[in-house]
Amino acid sequence: MNEAGFSIEINGKSYSAKPGQTILDVARAGDLFIPGLCYTPDLGSIQTCDTCYVNAGGELVRSCVTKAAPGMVVDTESELVQEAQYEGMSRILKNHELYCTVCDNNNGNCTVHNTVEHMGLAHQKYPFEAKPYAPDNSHPFYRYEPDQCILCGRCVEACQDLQVNETLTIDWSRKVPRVIWDNDVPIDQSSCVSCGHCVNVCPCNALMEKSMLGEAGYLTAIPPKVLGPMIDMTKEVEPGYKEIFAISEVEAAMRKSRIKRTKTVCTYCGVGCSFEVWTKNREILKIQPLEEAPANGISTCVKGKWGWDYVNNEDRLTKPLIRKGDEFVEATWDEALDLIAEKLGGVKEKYGADSIGYIASSKCSNEENYLFQKFARGIMGTNNIDNCSRYCQSPATAGLMRTVGLGGDAGTIHDISSAELVIVIGANPAESHPVLATRVKRAHKLHGQKLIVADLRGNELAERADLFIHPKPSTDLIWINAVTKYILDMGWEDKKFLQNRVNGMDEYVKSLEKFTLAYAEEKTGLPQEILIRIATMIHEANSVCALWAMGITQHQGATDASTAISNLLLITGNYGRTGTGAYPLRGHNNVQGACDFGTMPAWFPGYEPVQDPKVRERYEKAWGTTIPSEPGHDNHHMVEAMHEDKLKALYLFGEEMALVDANSNFVQSAFEGLEFFVVQDIFFSKTAQYADVVLPAAPSLEKDGTFVNTERRIQRFYKVLEPLGDSKPDWEIFQLIANRFGANWNYKHPSEIMDEAASLAPLFAGVSYERLEGFKSLVWPVSADGKDTPLLYTEKFAFPDGKAKLVPVDWTPPFEAGDDYDLHLNNGRILEHFHEGNMTYRNEGLTHKVPEVWLEVSLELAKERNLEDGSLVGLTSPYGYVEVKVVVTDRVKGKELYLPMNTREDNEAVNYLTSSYHDYITHTPAYKEMGVKMEVLEQKGEPPLPKHNHRFGNRVPQISVKVEEKWNRSDFTPIHEMVKEDEHGTGDQANQKRSS
């Protein structure tokens, strides 16, 4: 076969094809219509709809599975083919009542509608038959209407093999088949994680967002009493589908004037899913992902798909607030800005520029972060600026910068999904980066990808892994170094790669001496044969990706552990090729971008040091100001400086620092000592309670901008709604304040800010809004001509000599709270809520699924302490106390506890327990190193996790939709057999057989 491509003939015309493409792929690429309801590029062939029949070489075949071959002759137009396609579509319509004009899915993108219309079908061959099942309205976000379900299985395919949650199946064994959840339970009580994949891919209105029902159409809110006879009448008088479609198309076109579709980028994690938001006035009708979305395609997760109504929540801040005595009083913008200018100016004048700190937001845009650091450095004259990557990702960035040169993921999600082996260390992507996790789960399930998971908890990926290891807490560096040493001892290292592309080999090899298998076994508790197995799996894989997150980075030796991972990848030559590399999973939507665009004490945008006079000069010239030469305080330093009374004022935006920074009591008492504190947010947060001025900001849906996701991918988001009340986009607020200090800025649109940043930071030289239009994206570095770099280090590493560095690292023992504190406290996220929950607890459906936080306790500990689901316990650490309800689960083992961070309640938030100990290099708090003691307050109580949470569901794994079971049904006649029989005059018989 010609790898470069070949051509096939369809209907007498030549079409170019590539090896592996199906006839349907070739036709669609060449703009030739072949029907096909079950096939989508993201899901592949399902073979249920039987509408894509073509004649290839004299045989009727399904074009969605038949591969194009050189010289192939295909016909899609002959009577035989038309008859087969017509039969396929007619069988579909037996399952689906066409009442498009009064259907909420009549928005121009209904696959069933468009296919019937395109095929020119005039009438229904087999009368529609209702199914004997009621609609399932149990789930808070979507409903299933069996009567409209065409049984194409797209939803099942998406659930089984793309999301890989394995909840949906079609029960082909019933008299009337239908989609079922788990073992046929109401949707709300199933293992459904509410990711929305099934709804996203449904080709009709069988699965629909509840927020669309009765809202999308002009006539769809009609009560059933009127609607029923209306549908009957329409069917009675309709001369054919053509006329019906004419009306429904007019109606669909009318909808365009009131339903706005706007592209946005999700803000719930670092994966960077992009999709369209459908709105009617301020109402959010739905989130619809599209295949062209670079990171996620048609995928979403529970928060990205459903969690947006907080923008209209009545608790939104809509006016500036000024502290007066014991209360906040609403103020005008002028009053607030005047006060800020007076007070911040006063502090600066009295105590100096470095007496003020600036905390930026990883939830806000690149442009806003750029402008904020410009304000701090250029206008206010200090480098005291940092963002919340300090709480999570700085050690990973530092570990990568010292080994391979750039603080970002080595490749893209495409590389992760195409790796032969994925190693996940201290991360729970299935809950924290759900859509990225789907790519690993899919590759593992369908394409033979191997998976190693190292974690304290048996999270979902751990359950699915080929090898799940549970090292003792805080010992990852040891087993990683030991595995690396074993690989070297066995001579399995990539010698050529090391020789040509890596420095520091000798010193590094020497540093590994103490990391013998025996030492590792003793320290980590992992048996030596397991370590050998890990080394062997890495050795046997041609491409390895390592993914990690807070389980690595929130320790005192976090930068070193990150470095150890990078070292291992270098030793085995796993950089610079498809399917290889290091992937610290960025937690927030714009952690990467906030760092990239300079809200860090030592770096200008694009990771150029503030200490470099040439770089400083470039910025000083462009900004027309002077910039201090020494790096400023990071978050950790700022809190310390507040306690030392050196930092007098703080300006913070989009960060719930009072609950999210470690050792909350310490942080909050620091806030109490500030002379002046400005907090800018969309809600009145815990942090805002300490402010002197609270400024109402606008969330991502109310402004334009760009984010950088974990892949280093820069993507645009567009304004969907006007800012609520008097709230303003953060960049506008910065400009107003800067101008109060005489900056004289005049940015009219964020694109102008990006243009300025791109002109100054070589890493983003070619970035512009034009190049990011719609779903287009750029993965940095971006050269001036607009060429981006999805895969790093293909030719050289980001050091002057182009070579990577092996950096010797040693183990830092974790903080020990003392013998009294006998339980290990682990913490992190859960799927349903974001961060402390200021946005997601305001969503009714999400709160229905998870109403409150819980403490995970092992079966062993529950037995020992007589605990059960709902028991109330008090946890005490040397730093604070919380009270939480227990969930007993085998996800945690022995004396290890897991307390999710997702609560806004003072007596529950995990960071009242954590300490101010930190990574010795980057000052990232060691959140994961804490011991606590437990007292049982109430032995019995209402369980915190309701039974209708997916964690209690029962998955039903299978590959795809099991279409063979459909084909084996006694009432199924294969269409290619039937229409052939038809040629011989036996069609009626076949008809009867099918409809009997």
84 lies in the site for other proteins, by CB under 8 A: no
User: Nearer Cβ to other proteins, position 125 or 472?
Assistant: 125
31 lies in the site for other proteins, by CB under 8 A: no
114 lies in the site for other proteins, by CB under 8 A: no
In angstroms, the first-to-last Cα distance of the chain is: 46
Contact 837, 902 (CB under 8 A): yes
Torsion (CA) 485, 488, 489, 490 in degrees, nearest 10: 130
Separation CA 278–CA 260 (nearest Å): 6
Closest CA to 309 of 289, 288, 287, 326: 287
Q: Which two tokens stand for residue 56?
A: 């290839």
Cis peptide upstream of residue 434 (ω within 30 degrees of 0): no
Member of 18, 28, 323, 865 binding other proteins (CB under 8 A):
323
683 lies in the site for other proteins, by CB under 8 A: no
User: Nearer Cβ to other proteins, position 58 or 127?
Assistant: 127
User: Which window, 224-232, 442-450, 803-811, 874-882, contacts other proteins (CB under 8 A)?
Assistant: 224-232
22: helix, strand or coil: strand
Separation CA 717–CA 453 (nearest Å): 34
Q: Which two tokens stand for residue 740?
A: 């109060």
DSSP character for 904? -
Q: Which two tokens stand for residue 634?
A: 């990071």
Contact 127, 95 (CB under 8 A): no
Member of 69, 119, 222, 341 binding other proteins (CB under 8 A):
222
Member of 184, 232, 507, 971 binding other proteins (CB under 8 A):
232
Closest distance to other proteins from the beta carbon of 50 (Å): 18
Q: Which residue has 């993507």 as its token pair? A: 715
Member of 690, 764, 815, 821 binding other proteins (CB under 8 A):
690
Q: How many CB atoms lie within 10 A of CB 37?
A: 25
Closest distance to other proteins from the beta carbon of 672 (Å): 6
User: Which window, 158-166, 222-230, 249-257, 914-922, contacts other proteins (CB under 8 A)?
Assistant: 222-230
319 lies in the site for other proteins, by CB under 8 A: yes
User: Which window, 543-551, 672-680, 699-707, 979-987, contacts other proteins (CB under 8 A)?
Assistant: 672-680
Closest CA to 285 of 363, 199, 364, 206: 199
126 lies in the site for other proteins, by CB under 8 A: yes
Closest distance to other proteins from the beta carbon of 689 (Å): 4
Number of residues in the chain? 996
Member of 175, 225, 510, 614 binding other proteins (CB under 8 A):
225
Phi and psi dihedrals of 650, rounded to 5?
Answer: -140, 135
Site string for other proteins, 275-314 (x = CB under 8 A): ----------------------------------------
645 lies in the site for other proteins, by CB under 8 A: no
User: Which window, 322-330, 386-394, 459-467, 876-884, contacts other proteins (CB under 8 A)?
Assistant: 322-330
671 lies in the site for other proteins, by CB under 8 A: yes
User: Which window, 111-119, 428-436, 687-695, 828-836, contacts other proteins (CB under 8 A)?
Assistant: 687-695
175 lies in the site for other proteins, by CB under 8 A: no
Determine how β-strand 880-888 pairs with β-strand 931-938: unpaired
Separation CA 355–CA 347 (nearest Å): 7
Member of 12, 58, 71, 239 binding other proteins (CB under 8 A):
239
Member of 62, 154, 255, 686 binding other proteins (CB under 8 A):
686
Amino acid type, 99: Y
243 lies in the site for other proteins, by CB under 8 A: yes
321 lies in the site for other proteins, by CB under 8 A: yes
User: Nearer Cβ to other proteins, position 578 or 689?
Assistant: 689
- By rule CB under 8 A, what count of residues binds other proteins? 39
Who's near 806: CB < 8 A, 6+ residues apart? 403, 502, 503, 504, 505, 507, 508, 567, 570, 571
Closest CA to 877 of 912, 918, 928, 924: 912
Member of 3, 31, 314, 327 binding other proteins (CB under 8 A):
327
Site string for other proteins, 832-871 (x = CB under 8 A): ----------------------------------------
Closest distance to other proteins from the beta carbon of 319 (Å): 7
Residues between 366 and 395 that touch other proteins (CB under 8 A): none
Q: How many CB atoms lie within 10 A of CB 491?
A: 8
229 lies in the site for other proteins, by CB under 8 A: yes
Closest distance to other proteins from the beta carbon of 336 (Å): 13
Member of 330, 755, 883, 981 binding other proteins (CB under 8 A):
330
Closest distance to other proteins from the beta carbon of 673 (Å): 6
Amino acid type, 183: N
924 lies in the site for other proteins, by CB under 8 A: no
Helix (H) or strand (E) segment spanning residue 321? strand 321-324
What does the longest C-alpha to C-alpha distance in the chain come to?
99
Separation CA 636–CA 84 (nearest Å): 69
Contact 562, 399 (CB under 8 A): yes
328 lies in the site for other proteins, by CB under 8 A: yes
- DSSP per residue over 917-975, as a string? -B-TTT--B-TT--EEEEEEEES----SS-TTSGGG------STT-HHHHHTSTT---H
Q: How many CB atoms lie within 10 A of CB 391?
A: 27
User: Nearer Cβ to other proteins, position 319 or 643?
Assistant: 319
Residues that bind other proteins (CB under 8 A): 122-127, 222-223, 225-226, 229-230, 232-233, 236-237, 239, 243, 319, 321, 323-324, 326-330, 668, 671-674, 677, 684, 686, 689-692
